Amino acid sequence: MVIDRFKPYAPLDMADLTVEHIERYLTKLLTANSRNPGRMANAHLTAIKSFCRWSAERYEVPNPAAKIKMLPEKPPRQRVLTPTEYASVLRICRGLESDAITLLGHTGLRASEFRSLTWANVADDLRSLSITGKGRKHRLIPLNQTSQTCLRKYERSHSTTMDFVKSYHARDALYKLCKRLAKRAEINRFGPHAIRHYFATELLRRGVPIAKVSKILGHASIRTTEQIYIHWLPDDLAGATDVLDWI
C-alpha cells in the first residue's frame, strides 16, 4: 500500500531514486490532516526504507533511503486507567470479569495475546507466561502472586484455553467488556489497551527500570517505551534531583 502511494513521487527507474524524491513524499504526508503526521510519515518511511534496502541488494542500485533519519513524533495520546479507576472497575466486576481484568492489569497483555492464551503459555510453577506477541517477538512475562492466585482457580490443561479466556475469545469481546465495566463503574470509556497502559505506568511509578518494562511489554526498543510512557510521569520526577543537594 505504501509503495503504491509512493510511486507517483518516484522515478520509473529505481536507480534514479534520490533522497529528494523520498523527502518530497514525506513532506506531503506531514502536511496531511492527521492527529500525528510524524508517526504516519515514519510508518511510511519504514516501508520505503525496507523496499529500498531490498532493491539495493537485489538489483545492485544505490539506496538513498539509508541516509534519511526517522522523523520526530508527538507522544501518542492514549487512554490510560488511573489506579483509582482500575480499583473502581475491579470492585464492580462479576465472576469471570474479575479474573480477566486482573490478569490484564498484572501482565500488560495485549487483547490479541489474551485471546490466544492457553495453558501451554504458562510455566509449570505458574511464575511466568511465555508469549509470542506483535511482530512474532517472543518474551517472558513474570507472574506475581495476584496473577498466580487468579490462575489457580482453574483446572490446568495443556491443550485448552482457560475458562475465563474462552468467555472473551471473540475479537471484540474484551472491548465490549471494558465498555460495560466503564458504564457500571461510571468512568470514561476505555479499552483493554488502557489497562496495558495502567500496568506499564504503575511499574514505572514503582521504580521498575524502563528497560525491564520495555521487555515485559514486548516493545522493539526502549525508545518505543519512552515515547509512549515518559510524558505520563512528570509528577514522579519532582524532587528527583534533591539527592544532590548535600554534595
> What pLDDT is recorded for position 158?
62
> What pLDDT is recorded for position 71?
85
DSSP the chain: -HHHHHGGGS-SSGGG--HHHHHHHHHHHHTSS-S-HHHHHHHHHHHHHHHHHHHHHHH----GGGGPPPPP-PPP------HHHHHHHHHH--THHHHHHHHHHHH---HHHHHT--GGGB-TTSSEEEEE-GGG-EEEEE--HHHHHHHTTS---SSS--HHHHTT-STTHHHHHHHHHHHHHTS----HHHHHHHHHHHHHHTT--HHHHHHHHT-S-HHHHHHHHGGG-TGGGTTGGGGGTT-
Domain boundaries, the chain: 2-67, 83-237
79 given a catalytic annotation: no
7 given a catalytic annotation: no
CATH class of 83-237: mainly alpha
Catalytic residue among 44, 106, 115, 196: 196
Catalytic residue among 106, 110, 115, 197: 110
> What pLDDT is recorded for position 165?
87
Backbone angle region of 122, left / alpha / beta, with phi > 0 → left and psi within -120 to 50 → alpha = beta
> What pLDDT is recorded for position 133?
85
193 given a catalytic annotation: yes
Task: From 117, 179, 172, select the one nearest 147 (Cα to Cα).
Answer: 117
> What pLDDT is recorded for position 79?
87
Catalytic residue among 7, 24, 67, 134: 134
> What pLDDT is recorded for position 135?
75
Q: For the chain (length 247 residues), average pLDDT per consecutive 10?
A: 93 90 93 79 93 93 92 75 95 93 96 92 93 87 94 78 84 94 96 95 90 92 83 59 61
Catalytic residue among 44, 106, 193, 197: 193
Spatial contact of 86 and 105, defined as CB atoms under 8 Å apart:
yes
Catalytic residue among 44, 106, 197, 219: 219
> What pLDDT is recorded for position 163?
78
Spatial contact of 65 and 55, defined as CB atoms under 8 Å apart:
no
134 given a catalytic annotation: yes
